[in-house]
Amino acid sequence: MNYFTHALNHLDRPYFVAGTAVPDWLSVADRKVRFRPQHLEPWADGGETLQAEVAAGTLRHLHDDGWFHATRGFVEVTGELTQLFREQLGADDQYHCGFLGHVGMELLLDAVLIERYPARFDEYWRVLNAVDPLAIEAAINRMARQPSDRLAWFITLFRREQFLRCYTNDQRLLTRLNQVLTRVKLCPLPPQATFVLAESRKIVGERLNDLLPTEHFELP
C-alpha cells in the first residue's frame, strides 16, 4: 500500500491520516526510525488526543501492510508486473525487477484510486494541510526509540510538492519512480519503461478487488 490507499477511508480524522503516512514519511526522511506494533499500542488507547490518533494511524498502516502483502492479489499482480519489467528491461535484473514490480504496483494502486475518487484525493490534501508537522514529530518521538529531527521538515515538503499527483501520468510517474530508485542506490529506468507502466496500470485497475479484498478493505 501507499499513502492515499492507507488514508482513503479515514479522511474525517486528520491526525489518524497523518499517522497512516508516518512509516512512509520516515522511510524517506529518517530511515533510522523504526516502529513495531508494541511501541505504538500503549499510546493507541482509543482516545481522541493528537497522540492517540497519530499512534492509531501508524499502527493501522502496519496492520494494513500485514494483510495486504499476504493477499493472493498482491502476490499475483506483483509477479505479473515483475515479468513485464523483466521482458522490457532484460533478464540480467540490473534493475531489480522484483523490487520494481512491488513498488510499481503500490504506486499504481494509489493512481487507480486517485482517478476513481478525485474528490477524496483533494480532501486528502486539505486534511494534511490542517495538521501541525511539529506536533506530529513530537508525538512520534515520544514513541520511537530513536527520535527524528527531520519528520516535520519532510511533512512540509510532502504537502508542498504533492508528488502523488504525478502518479496518474506514466511519464511523470517514471520520474518519481526513478527518484525512489536513486534514493535506494538502484539503477534508474530508461524512457521505454513508460510502456511497462502503461500496461501495469491496466493490470492494477483490473485487479483492484483482488488487491483490496472486501474482508480487509471497504472501497467507498
Q: Is 102 helix (H, G, I), strand (E, B) or coil?
A: helix
Predicted pLDDT of residue 31: 86
| 35-76 residue pLDDT tens | 888 889 999 999 999 999 999 999 999 999 999 999 999 999
- pTM for the full predicted model: 0.94
Print burial letters for 173-210: b (CB count within 10 Å at least 16), e (below 16). Answer: bbebbbebbeeeeeeebeeebbebbeebbeebbebeee
Q: What is the CA radius of gyration of the chain?
A: 17
Reported as a pLDDT band with limits 50, 70 and 90, residue 185 is confident
**pLDDT over 80 at 95, yes or no:** no
36, 145 contact by CB (below 8 A): no
CA distance 142 to 115: 37
Nearest to 193 by CA among 74, 97, 80: 97
| More reliable by pLDDT, 87 or 129 | 129
Cell 531489480 found at: 96
